Amino acid sequence: LTLLLGLPLTLPAEPPACAPLRTLPLDNDTLPGILGHWIYIASVSRHPHYLEQVKTMKHAAFSYFPGSNEDELNATKIVRVNETCVVRNTDGIQVFRHNSTLLHVDDQRVSMAEVIQSDKDLLILKHFHDNELGLSLSARTHNVSKEQLEEFKAQLHCLGFTEEEMFFTS
């Protein structure tokens, strides 16, 4: 009995297995759920251009709304960079329903993202920029629960990021 009780202490502790991130299927039922207003909460990436932008960002909010056709979204983004407020309208975010991907081209820079299945009041995007992965967390309100933040942290760990690499807005 003593041997059996002590056995777990002698085995090396293995990190928990990471379940693959589940992409939200983008269809007529789910697409309306990502429309509307979102508050940017946190992100993680190693892409140099993205890091340059996010380091100066103090607050960000954005809204998705339908584009000119059913497979297109438009967005309005409001960002406070230092003490300057910047408003940007983005047209033509392409929705690829077959692989649940969003695509946008801005200044010859291609940005792609998958919407990750999560709580209806959270928007987790897995970003692809020039072969660099990233993950962002946005919410319908300025705050997320401890459990929601822990879910995001678990996902970023599974992608090989550390909590020290996370950027938060105020």
Query: What confidence tens digit (pLDDT) does each residue in 12-35 have?
Result: 444 456 877 788 999 999 999 999
Query: Is the pLDDT score of 128 beyond 50?
Result: yes
What's the pTM? 0.83
CATH code: domain of residue 81: 2.40.128.20
Does the residue 159 lie in any domain?
Answer: yes
Counted domains in the chain: 1
Higher-confidence residue of 58 and 65: namely 65
Identity of the highest mean pLDDT range in 47-56, 111-120, 139-148: 139-148
Contact status, residue 18 vs residue 156, Cβ threshold 8 Å: no
Does the residue 18 lie in any domain?
Answer: no
- Domain that residue 108 falls in: 31-168
Contact status, residue 55 vs residue 167, Cβ threshold 8 Å: yes
Does the residue 16 lie in any domain?
Answer: no
**pLDDT for the residue numbered 4:** 40
Contact status, residue 74 vs residue 95, Cβ threshold 8 Å: no
